[in-house]
Amino acid sequence: MQSFSYFNRLLLSVGLLSIAMIAYQLSLMQYLSIVQWYHFAYMVIAIALLGFGAAGTFIALFRSFLLKKIVILLPLLMILTGICMPFAVWLSGQPFARFDTYLLFVEQRQLWQLLLYELLFFVPFFFCALAIGLVFVKYTDTIGKLYFSNLVGSGLGGLAAIVLFWTATPTLIPFITGFVSLIAALFILPNVKRQVWLGATGVAAIVLLGIGVLFPPSLPISQYKGLSTTLDLPEATVEKTANSPYGWVQYVSSPALRYAPGLSLFYTGEVPIVDAVFSNGDWAGAVLKTPEESLILDYTTSAVAWELATHEKVLVLDAGTGIRTQYAEMKGASHIDHVESNELVSGFAVGNIGFESKDAVTWYRQDARSFLAQSSEKYNLISLPSLGAFGGSAGLQALQEEYLLTTEAFSKIYDGLKNDGFLEITVWMDYPYRNSLKITATISEVLAEKGIHYPEQHLIAVRSWSAMTFLVKKTPFSEAEINKIREFCERLYFDPLLLPDITTEERVAYNMIEDHSLFTLIDSLVSGKREQVYANYEFHLRPATDDKPYFSQFLRLKSYPQLQEMFGSQSASFFELGYLIVWVTFIQSFILALLLIIFPLFFLKTKLNNKGWTLGYFSGIGIGFMFVEIVLIQRFILYLGHPVYSVAAVISGMLLLSGLGSWFSSKVQLSLPAIRKVVLLIIGLLLVYAVGLSSILQASIGFSLPLKIMIAILLIGLPSFFMGMPFPLGLRFLSKKNESGVPWAWGINGCLSVVSASFATILAVEIGFSALMLFAAGAYLITMLSCYINKT
């Protein structure tokens, strides 16, 4: 009875620890997105899994000692996990450990600081994994239930993180998860000196929570982030702050903040002083004090859309802080649909503007693609947000899924136009030319797909010294409209970029550029010589699709040496910093993963049998599971309308259903043929998903949210249930034949998961999600084939 009771408490404890760990992992992803950039999400996943891999190695090396002391070690490790969670965050903000993404390719010592940074965050994951790993090794016979508890806890941790994002600050969350870890320890305290353990753990838990609430650490935000540079401005103050799963949002005011993007040199009046909203430390938009101030846009290239007509019905996609909405209203639009999913960004601005109370404006709190899928309205003007950043970005957007900039999205937008309707998008000038060319390619491909034979009659563009605006029209631009565009350019010192029968001289009347290849390339893209440009240009220009929604990923690796030669190695790195960071993470984790697999193999050589089976079997599971997870997250971003919901649904859904599968696995006969059948079933399912998942999602994207959630649970849960089985089955099988191999197998699984987290991202960028799903099926095929080489 006593042991049964202890086992139940153990199940609860493992579940609680898993909740804390996943919630911590997700909060760390947000924390690093704030203080650095979101690419560190990949680093966090890698570190977390590396902690699990390293713990496997550690157990393999010191197994007998650890198992002998398990009664004391388990609660101790949970306590250490709890304390290290906030402590790692605090330490990472101290000057000796602080590192900056921007300086990574500038200062050598930043590489060491990055390593130290990773090491700090590795520690809590290592302790946590050691505790869970010890439980798995000690109670292998009941691995199904324990794994169930671990996975269900992890799934609930994902949901807990969402709740915490709404209710707690980014710096408080690690203290809360640390507190939960300490509570987990309370359930399994040793009987010897129990009162002392109880007192110490209880006090530690209260102190931890107290520090988190009363003295939370500050957020050491990179000096190169928009929020930091803005707070350096005179009298800059943070007026409001709120946290949410969409991001940590701040409302900042300063008399030195002004808004007039790409303003014409013709303008001599006042430039409005604005407030600004930041999300995760990055600029999210300006907030005007009065709607009238939006008329400053009359002196920018984006005004060209209003030069041609007064648009009655306007759709503003990814409307942000609502400036384009206000402008449309000021220009006389009588019906404006303002579509913005980030409640806080629009919400802060709406508080100031109050446009929601106006009859003309309707705010749709949803993702632009979901709106387009559900709406059957037709508009006179559809406005997209500006693309790129002033002066060009450092490529930090490269790995951001941008579903509003895919060919499928443009096709939907085109369908949403009235016959004489316009699509408007402004692009910041960059050099070497990338954004402007890719948007031209995207629009041209969509026009071709719509059966437009003379795209130059449907697409015009005007250019200022810093930006260019593209206008697309369903029917050809009339002579009168073309004349109006020429007058508009002449008046504001702009130059036409795309007009029927345009000359080079006309294109540089006011704003000269040294490299005229912009014109020849744009002309080639519009005139249908796109494949030739895609093949020859040094950057990746092929339009993004829903299968590869990385519009801002321009780097072609084969061109990189040439870029280094032309621009210098440092400048070249800054063209596509984001993509390079993922490569750095991948290479780093690959080396560490190899060390963690090879290392114990070397020491345990005499004790292991069937090394090939263990390696193949558990590698396949590690890679396959992670690949599927990444593909599903990506697919459901578009389907559910926001990355946060997608991550929550996929992580929680996959882990919960895998947990159920794991529980069910104890009923599966423990034999290699039985395992092969389960894995074969998974491979079959993944192949079906690779081919058909996209179509199912596209067909049902317009359904109501509750229905979509049900479909999502079904689609995520089905493969997950079966994918939860091979791991516990394999471990049970291994423990029967060769018990000392269990921790090593666990380590392999963890390490390969580490590598595949960043590798999956690279593959998704290069070959797309459907192909990545095929790779996942291939990984499970390795698992299945490895069963044939098992000699037992």
Partner 1 sequence: MKTSLYLLGFILAFSTPVTAQDNFQRERQQMVNQQLVARGIKDKATLDAMRTVERHKLVPQAQVRHAYEDRPLPIGHGQTISQPYIVAYMTEIINPRPGMKVLEIGTGSGYQAAVLAEIVDEVYTIEIVNALAESAKNSLREMGYTNIHVKAADGYYGWEEHAPFDAIVVTAASEFIPPPLIAQLKEGGKMIIPVGAPFTNQNLMLVEKEKDGKWKTQNLFPVRFVPFTRN
Q: Which of 271, 587, 710, 714 binds partner 1 (CB under 8 A)?
A: 271
Q: Nearest distance from residue 277's CB to partner 1, in Å?
A: 16
By CB under 8 A, tell whether 223 contacts partner 1. yes
- Is the Cα torsion angle 568, 571, 573, 576 positive or negative in sign? negative
Which of the residues 275 through 314 are near partner 1 (CB under 8 A)? none
Cβ distance to partner 1 smaller for residue 70 or 572:
572
Q: Nearest distance from residue 517's CB to partner 1, in Å?
A: 7
Q: Which of 47, 66, 316, 429 binds partner 1 (CB under 8 A)?
A: 429
Q: Nearest distance from residue 739's CB to partner 1, in Å?
A: 54
Q: Nearest distance from residue 319's CB to partner 1, in Å?
A: 19
Give the count of residues interacting with partner 1 (CB under 8 A).
Answer: 58
The order of strands in the sheet holding 247-258 is 237-244, 247-258, 273-279, 282-287
Q: Nearest distance from residue 287's CB to partner 1, in Å?
A: 16
Cβ distance to partner 1 smaller for residue 269 or 673:
269
Q: Which of 65, 266, 454, 788 binds partner 1 (CB under 8 A)?
A: 266
- Residue closest to 149 by CA, chosen among 659, 615, 633, 708: 659
Q: Which of 53, 56, 216, 262 binds partner 1 (CB under 8 A)?
A: 262
Q: How far apart are CA 248 and CA 450, in angstroms?
A: 41
- Residue closest to 116 by CA, chosen among 47, 58, 56, 52: 47
Angle value at C-alpha 629, between 626 and 630, nearest 5 degrees:
90
Coil, helix or strand for 705? helix
By CB under 8 A, tell whether 139 contacts partner 1. no
Contacts of 22 (CB under 8 A, 6+ apart): 153, 154, 155, 157, 158, 160, 161, 651, 655
Contact yes or no for 637/766 (Cβ under 8 A):
no
> Tokens 């190169």 belong to which residue?
224
Stretch that binds partner 1, among 32-40, 231-239, 374-382, 445-453 (CB under 8 A): 231-239
By CB under 8 A, tell whether 465 contacts partner 1. yes
> For the chain, what's the residue count?
792
By CB under 8 A, tell whether 432 contacts partner 1. yes
Q: Which of 61, 72, 233, 767 binds partner 1 (CB under 8 A)?
A: 233
Q: Which of 59, 260, 526, 754 binds partner 1 (CB under 8 A)?
A: 260
Stretch that binds partner 1, among 86-94, 385-393, 668-676, 755-763 (CB under 8 A): 385-393
Cβ distance to partner 1 smaller for residue 236 or 672:
236
Cβ count near 256 (within 10 Å): 11
DSSP H/E element including 460: strand 459-463
Q: How far apart are CA 21 and CA 81, in angstroms?
A: 9
Cβ distance to partner 1 smaller for residue 173 or 263:
263
Q: Nearest distance from residue 708's CB to partner 1, in Å?
A: 38
By CB under 8 A, tell whether 478 contacts partner 1. no
Contact yes or no for 156/19 (Cβ under 8 A):
yes
Contact yes or no for 101/223 (Cβ under 8 A):
no
Q: Nearest distance from residue 324's CB to partner 1, in Å?
A: 15
By CB under 8 A, tell whether 102 contacts partner 1. yes
Cβ distance to partner 1 smaller for residue 222 or 442:
222
By CB under 8 A, tell whether 438 contacts partner 1. no
Cβ distance to partner 1 smaller for residue 296 or 712:
296
Which of the residues 497 through 536 are near partner 1 (CB under 8 A)? 510-515, 517, 536
Stretch that binds partner 1, among 387-395, 475-483, 499-507, 643-651 (CB under 8 A): 387-395
Q: Which of 8, 69, 202, 232 binds partner 1 (CB under 8 A)?
A: 232
DSSP H/E element including 469: strand 467-473
Cβ distance to partner 1 smaller for residue 107 or 415:
107
Which residue(s) pair with 279 in the sheet? 249, 282
> Cis peptide leading into 220, omega within 30 of 0?
no
Stretch that binds partner 1, among 450-458, 564-572, 659-667, 669-677 (CB under 8 A): 564-572
* Pair type for strands 459-463 and 495-498: antiparallel
Which three-class secondary structure string do you get for 539-558? ECCCCCCCCCCCCCCCECHH
Which residue(s) pair with 496 in the sheet? 462
Helix ranges restricted to H, 237-384: 304-308, 323-330, 343-353, 368-374
Q: How far apart are CA 519 and CA 440, in angstroms?
A: 11
Which of the residues 575 through 594 are near partner 1 (CB under 8 A)? 575
- Residue closest to 232 by CA, chosen among 224, 240, 243: 224
Stretch that binds partner 1, among 122-130, 216-224, 600-608, 640-648 (CB under 8 A): 216-224
Burial of 647: CB neighbours in 10 Å, binned 0-12, 13-18, 19+: buried
**Positions in the binding site for partner 1 (CB under 8 A):** 102-103, 105-107, 222-225, 228-229, 232-234, 255-256, 258, 260-263, 265-271, 389-394, 429, 431-433, 465-466, 493, 510-515, 517, 536-538, 566-568, 570-571, 574-575
